[in-house]
Structure 1
Amino acid sequence: MRTLSFCLAVILLPLLSCEQKNSNNEKIASANDLPKNLSDSALLDSIEHRTFEFFWSGAEPNSGMAPERIHMDGDYPDKDQHIIATGGSGFGVMAILAGIERKYITREQGLQRFEKIISFLEKADRFHGAFPHWINGETGHVKPFGQKDNGGDLVETSFLFQGLLCGRQYFKDGNDEEKKLSSRIDKLWKEVDYNWYRNGGQNVLYWHWSPDYAWQMNFPVHGYNECLIFYILGASSPTHGVPAEVYHQGWAQNGAINKTTFYKNDTLHLHYQGDPPHGASLFWAHYSFAGLDPHGLKDKYADYWKEMTNLSHINYQWCVDNPKQYKGYSDSSWGLTASYSIKFYAAHAPNDENDLGVISPTAAISSIVYTPRESMAAIKHWYTDDSLRKVILGKYGYYDAFSENFGWYKPWYLAIDQGPEVAMIENYRSGLLWKLFMSCDEVQSGLKKLGFESPYIK
Structure 2
Amino acid sequence: MRILLLLLLLLPGLLAAQPTPKPAKKPAAPAAFDPRQRPRHLSDEQLLDQVQRQTFRYFWDFGHPVSGMARERSNKSYDYGAEVVTTGGTGFGILAIIVAAERGWITRAQAAARVSKIVNFLWKADQYHGAFPHWYDGATGHTIRFSPKDDGADLVETSFMYEGLLCARQYFTQDTPDESNVRNKVGWMWEGVEWSWFTQGQNVLYWHWSPNNGWSMNHQLHGWNEALVTYVLAAGSPRYAIDKAVYDQGWATGPDYLNGKTYYGQPLPLGPELGGPLFFSHYSFLGLNPHGLKDAHADYWAQNQNHTRINYAYCVANPRHYPGYGPNAWGLTASDSYQGYAAHSPTEDLGVISPTAALSAMPYAPAESMRALRHFYDDLGDKIWGPYGFVDGYSEAHNWYATSYLAIDEGPIVAMMENHRSGLLWKLFMSAPEVQRGLTKLGFESPDVKKP
* TM-score of the pair, normalised by structure 2: 0.91
Match of 1:357? 351
Deviation at 1:379, TM superposition (A): 0.4
- CA offsets 1:319-375 (integer angstroms, 9 cap, x no match): 111111100001001100010011101111013xx1110000000000001000000
Match of 2:128? 127
Match of 1:382? 376
- One of 40, 45, 56 as aligned partner of 1:52: 56
Paired AA for residue 59 in structure 2: F
1:292 aligns with 2:296: no
Paired AA for residue 168 in structure 1: R
Cα distance in structure 1, aligned partners of 2:240 and 2:114: 28
Cα distance in structure 1, aligned partners of 2:111 and 2:275: 38
- CA offsets 1:424-453 (integer angstroms, 9 cap, x no match): 011111111100000001111110000000
Question: Runs of 4+ in structure 1 displaced over 6 angstroms?
Answer: none
Cα distance in structure 2, aligned partners of 1:256 and 1:181: 38
Match of 1:425? 417
Match of 2:269? 269
3-state SS in 1 of match to 2:171: helix
Q: Is the 8 A contact 2:116 2:181 kept in 1?
A: no
Cα distance in structure 2, aligned partners of 1:246 and 1:174: 39
Deviation at 1:281, TM superposition (A): 0.1
Relative to structure 1, is the Cα distance of residues 280 and 19 closer, same or farther in structure 2, using a 3 angstrom cutoff? farther
Deviation at 1:383, TM superposition (A): 1.3
- CA offsets 1:372-429 (integer angstroms, 9 cap, x no match): 00000000011111xx211100000000000011100121001000011111011111
Deviation at 1:76, TM superposition (A): 3.2
Q: Is the 8 A contact 2:222 2:254 kept in 1?
A: no
- CA offsets 1:104-141 (integer angstroms, 9 cap, x no match): 10011001101110110001000000010000001100
Relative to structure 1, is the Cα distance of residues 235 and 28 closer, same or farther in structure 2, using a 3 angstrom cutoff? farther
Cα distance in structure 1, aligned partners of 2:74 and 2:181: 32
Paired AA for residue 44 in structure 1: L
**Counterparts in 2 of 1:43-442, with a 5 A limit?**
43-71=47-75, 76=77, 78=79, 80-175=81-176, 177-199=178-200, 201-253=201-253, 257-270=257-270, 272=271, 275=272, 277-351=273-347, 354-385=348-379, 388-442=380-434
Cα distance in structure 1, aligned partners of 2:441 and 2:392: 38
Q: Is the 8 A contact 2:113 2:178 kept in 1?
A: no
- CA offsets 1:72-99 (integer angstroms, 9 cap, x no match): xxx6353710101110001000000000
Identity percentage of aligned residues? 51
Q: Name the larger-Rg structure.
A: 2
Q: Is the 8 A contact 1:248 1:255 kept in 2?
A: no
Match of 2:39? 35
Q: Is the 8 A contact 1:358 1:401 kept in 2?
A: yes
3-state SS in 2 of match to 1:345: strand
Deviation at 1:37, TM superposition (A): 0.6
Deviation at 1:248, TM superposition (A): 0.5
Paired AA for residue 377 in structure 2: Y
Paired AA for residue 375 in structure 2: H
3-state SS in 2 of match to 1:260: strand
Larger mean CA deviation between 229-238 and 174-183 belongs to: 174-183
Cα distance in structure 2, aligned partners of 1:221 and 1:77: 26
Deviation at 1:262, TM superposition (A): 1.3
* TM-score of the pair, normalised by structure 1: 0.90
Relative to structure 1, is the Cα distance of residues 38 and 222 closer, same or farther in structure 2, using a 3 angstrom cutoff? same
Match of 1:12? none
Cα distance in structure 1, aligned partners of 2:407 and 2:176: 31
RMSD: 1.7
3-state SS in 2 of match to 1:184: helix
Larger mean CA deviation between 75-84 and 95-104 belongs to: 75-84
Relative to structure 1, is the Cα distance of residues 334 and 176 closer, same or farther in structure 2, using a 3 angstrom cutoff? same
Cα distance in structure 2, aligned partners of 1:432 and 1:79: 34
The gaps in structure 1 that reach 5 residues or longer are 1-17, 21-26
Deviation at 1:172, TM superposition (A): 2.8
Cα distance in structure 1, aligned partners of 2:254 and 2:144: 36
Q: Is the 8 A contact 1:54 1:396 kept in 2?
A: yes
Number of positions where the alignment pairs a residue of Structure 1 with one of Structure 2: 423
The gaps in structure 2 that reach 5 residues or longer are 1-27
Cα distance in structure 1, aligned partners of 2:255 and 2:249: 8
Cα distance in structure 2, aligned partners of 1:36 and 1:376: 15
- CA offsets 1:294-315 (integer angstroms, 9 cap, x no match): 0000000000001000000110
Q: Is the 8 A contact 1:149 1:210 kept in 2?
A: yes
Paired AA for residue 425 in structure 2: L
Q: Is the 8 A contact 1:255 1:301 kept in 2?
A: no
Cα distance in structure 2, aligned partners of 1:177 and 1:60: 19
- CA offsets 1:233-266 (integer angstroms, 9 cap, x no match): 0001111111111001100129983321111210
Cα distance in structure 2, aligned partners of 1:411 and 1:156: 25
- CA offsets 1:52-73 (integer angstroms, 9 cap, x no match): 00000010111101000003xx
Q: Is the 8 A contact 1:28 1:395 kept in 2?
A: no
